[in-house]
Amino acid sequence: MVRSFVGIVLAQISLFALFRLCMCYQTSESTSTASLSPQFYDNSCPKAQAIVQSIVAKAHSDEAMTLAWLPQCLGSISMTVSSMFDLT
């Protein structure tokens, strides 16, 4: 159980890191017109959707409950788990 939970957390950390990285590449124009949409990262990080899909698919194949965790706050889960387990 701990192994599958760690897999879930690693997938979430990867997603969080990906979105933080993509945010660094936003232009001032995309920042001023930013909104929630499926096309939000099309210009700043065109491969974002494919990357996220592959990470989620891998995590889901390892543990089916992964998708139940995705809506949670990534930061708080990462902090909680990293304080409980040695992830290195």
Secondary structure class of 71 (helix, strand, coil): coil
Any idea what DSSP says for residue 44?
Answer: T
- 4-35 tens-digit pLDDT: 666 777 777 777 766 766 665 554 444 555 55
Angle between helices 2-24 and 74-84 (to 10 degrees): 130
What Rg, from alpha-carbon coordinates, does the chain have? 14
Residue 64: the pLDDT is 62
Residue 80: the pLDDT is 46
d(CA 47, CA 44): 9
- 34-65 tens-digit pLDDT: 556 777 788 888 888 888 888 878 877 777 66
The pTM of the full predicted model, rounded to 2 decimals, is: 0.37
